[in-house]
Structure 1
């Protein structure tokens, strides 16, 4: 059951955060782009399970329903909020859990049946890294969106903030996975020193940096600890 869940979760984060482009997200209200995304979900789910197409089809159908509600049931302003994002992702995870409850052994019938035990820890780590680095960037971006207009975004390099966020979340995730939690404190201190000039420019800039940094670090820590828990659960499951 845990292997099937992990495989489907891996396919989901690939489909939503790596394969899905910014263009696909912006134009998701168009049927062609929407259908393409659902087809990708089905294909990746089937591939992750090693060919269990019935389970993959169920996942794609539920994904379609959840995304359709978000895409056409909410206004654009309500869609582009952190609460909508978290609700959407929570619904996807619950749908995966529901499908796994019905087909717990789906992965054992596929092509990867003989490699599940060896591959499972690696798939969990990769899934956690994607959620920490890329999903975290999207979540933090939505959180900071209301404050972005109040800050002069033309003072630094284009996309530098996004890259810094990805790197810091990647480092935090790595530190947790190798059991070097103390290094996270050094990373916080280092960023505080490097960002001192920006924070000193004014109250708004300072508060913006603090909120974004704490949100980014908090997301990476939460995902890192969740990944560790899943690894421990997978190791002790029969």
Structure 2
């Protein structure tokens, strides 16, 4: 297990701390002919080699791990070089790298059957499924419920602001920012609740109050302030209700 953790640490060091931006730009511009790509793979292989030198049980073990990690890293980075720099591709890239490292480690150690059984048992565990369900409910379903509850207020608010708000208005927020703020705050609320860290929930409420409602009250827009306050309280109420319901089901299961 120490070797697996070290290999993952090595991956992140090589990918984020020892890869200059010039190498990344070179890879995107030149693809397979990129010197930056080959330099990055060399650095990665050297670090992996140093780890395997001290922790690999045999030369054949080290050779398989080195070749597997080096070739897969080259292939994945070459594939990503033709893709836009967006969040989905970034996450896919990192998941693939980690999946290869874990898969090689499992295969070389001959414990793939045990790992597969463990994964199946974990995924099908009712306690795990109920926690996953809680986070799923806390995101889009909760967001839709809040929008339905606030529908009348939303129509009244934005019809009143339609005549005064222009595309250049500095008070216009980022697109979909409110929805993502809601997702994050409800997921954090659930996490703190499951961990028994109720002070963390209080910190979230206080932080949002300071950063969001301070500007609203300065603008003397009481209608918008009350609308945002209702939305925030609904968001936390729904998150707490989901969390308490999940904990009750967890104990019942």
TM-score range, shorter chain: 0.3 to 0.5
Structure of higher CA gyration radius: 2
Question: Structure 1 length as normaliser, TM-score?
Answer: 0.47
Question: Structure 2 length as normaliser, TM-score?
Answer: 0.45
Work out which structure has the larger RCO, using CA pairs closer than 8 Å and 6 or more positions apart in sequence: 1
